[in-house]
Amino acid sequence: MRAVLLVAERELRQILATRGFRVILLSFPLLIAGTLFASAHFAPPTGAAFTLVDASGRYSALIERRLELDHQRDVLHDLAAYVARWKLAFVDPSAVWAQPDAWPADAKVARFIAAGGGAAAMRQLLPHLPEGAPAFKPPSKDHIEIAPPAEVPIDQGADAFGRAIATPMQTDVETPDGKRPFTAAVYIPKDFGAPGVVARIWTNGGSTDDLIQTVRQQLTAALRHGALEADGLSSEAADRVETLSAPILVSEPAPSAARGVVVTRSIVPLALVYLLMIASIIIGQMMLQGVIEERSNKLLESFLACIRPSDLMYGKLLGLGAVGLIVVGAWVGCAVGAAFSSQGAIPDMLRLSLQAVDKPWIIAAMIFYFLSGYLILSMLYLVIGSLSDSMQDAQQYQMPVVMLIMLPTIVVIKASLTSPDAVIVQVLSWIPLYTPFAMLARLGTGVPLTEMLGTGALLIAFIAVELLLLGRVFQARLLSAGQPANLAAFAKLMFQPAN
């Protein structure tokens, strides 16, 4: 063990002293910092402008009220998350923003608006903000209404309006929130509701689906209201029927709540899959270079006179494994730091994901799968290094191995998000080479505990066999030059005890 630790320490020291390591270590924090800075200073503004012409004068107020209600729902949702994050619910436990609700109902939003909205809530919260907590910044409106441009006729019918509005919609326009793309124009004819009369919407090709949906819903509701009245229902009764809404309270699962399966409800395990892929490729390169350097510098015979080949192998795995963990630890640390010290959609998502990983055994499972995957890949790289006399040699082995691992992993990541019960995901989970990737990817959406234990046991057995067989190849190849002639020669090295 002493020799293993000595080799590991040397490997670690050598890598830590290289410029390449510092670049790798800093690349991710710099990327995070750059992303946060860019999103804070250079992110394009959200929201788009639209104009609404209601020649009938009967529908625009309905549409505008709905848009405002939806916007205030977003404000309330974000405010509730802000209050939860900074633990401010005690300020007014009865306030609507103190009660987490993934989809606040209209009545709740109306109460929020009636109480003064986000501005009033902030006035209430401001004296109680903890140190370092930024002021709440409400989300900007998705749809900002502007008056029709002056040159566009609004009283000559829909066709004339449509022809005239096409040109102004090609450029950004001034809105109360600043310049925004002019994405949609809505024209409701004077006799809308009569048979054959249609409301018209022109778009600039941008994303306007939810605006169109809102307009459609409000106009439909108004027509239904009219139909009910025409059938003899009073206006009040028609209103009641029209605004009938099933009372639904949408609750999100508590972080890491179990449904008979292991679910973290977090993107952290999935992020670890990507991290595992990136880290193993980067550190794998270092591992290859280390082994090839020792082979080409003819260092190995000196070593083997002092220590066992297995000591050299385990020392390398341990040392370069430590390098990988330092890199990953630093990266994860930066991500956690950024999540808890900055504002924005990405930090908010990260923060929620990290909070979801709150059970020690879930953390242990993630670490187990991560380290197992790292060990499997590191061993493969070590053997590739021992089979190669140069980096050029190494590349011819490396490419197929990387493809063999990465392609199914990408499939598993995608499938685990869209259809976690897909056969491909289930099958790959039980193939040890892919188990770490598949199980990490699935942790976020749920894995039966029995499957976790079964794949874990199989993975441990696979690693033991891999270390034994590939270890033999590594040891047999230490003092050899050239490459094994074919797969049979390679297999012979695996199944032939070291001499």
- Contacts with other proteins by CB under 8 A lie at 2-3, 6, 10, 14, 17-18, 293-294, 296-299, 301-308, 479, 499
Nearer to other proteins, 339 or 382 (CB): 382
Minimum Å gap between C-beta 266 and other proteins is 41
Extract the tokens encoding 207: 């994303």
CB atoms within 10 A of CB 113: 18
Nearer to other proteins, 78 or 294 (CB): 294
Minimum Å gap between C-beta 31 and other proteins is 28
Minimum Å gap between C-beta 5 and other proteins is 10
Pairing of strands 172-175, 178-188: antiparallel
Report the interhelical angle of 2-16 vs 309-341 (nearest 10°).
50
Nearer to other proteins, 213 or 480 (CB): 480
Nearer to other proteins, 14 or 483 (CB): 14
Minimum Å gap between C-beta 20 and other proteins is 12
Nearer to other proteins, 366 or 478 (CB): 478
List of residues 6+ apart from 133 with CB closer than 8 A: 86
- 181, 49 contact by CB (below 8 A): yes
Report the interhelical angle of 60-85 vs 209-230 (nearest 10°).
130
| Angle subtended at Cα 221 by Cα 165 and Cα 223, rounded to the nearest 5 degrees | 80
Nearer to other proteins, 303 or 430 (CB): 303
- 46, 351 contact by CB (below 8 A): no
Question: If we measure between CA atoms, which residue out of 142, 158, 163 comes closest to residue 208?
Answer: 142
Minimum Å gap between C-beta 10 and other proteins is 6
**How far apart are the two ends of the chain, measured CA to CA in Å?**
21
Minimum Å gap between C-beta 6 and other proteins is 6
Minimum Å gap between C-beta 302 and other proteins is 6
Burial 423-441 (b: 16+ CB within 10 A, else e): eebeebbeebbbbbbbbbb
Exposed (0-12), middle (13-18) or buried (19+): which is 148, by Cβ within 10 Å?
middle
Nearer to other proteins, 19 or 41 (CB): 19
Minimum Å gap between C-beta 479 and other proteins is 7
What distance in Å separates the CA atoms of residue 294 and residue 303, rounded to the nearest whole number?
10
Minimum Å gap between C-beta 304 and other proteins is 5
Nearer to other proteins, 391 or 458 (CB): 391
Nearer to other proteins, 246 or 488 (CB): 488
Nearer to other proteins, 23 or 299 (CB): 299
Nearer to other proteins, 196 or 497 (CB): 497
Minimum Å gap between C-beta 298 and other proteins is 4
Minimum Å gap between C-beta 386 and other proteins is 15
Minimum Å gap between C-beta 82 and other proteins is 51
What distance in Å separates the CA atoms of residue 262 and residue 446, rounded to the nearest whole number?
5
Nearer to other proteins, 302 or 418 (CB): 302
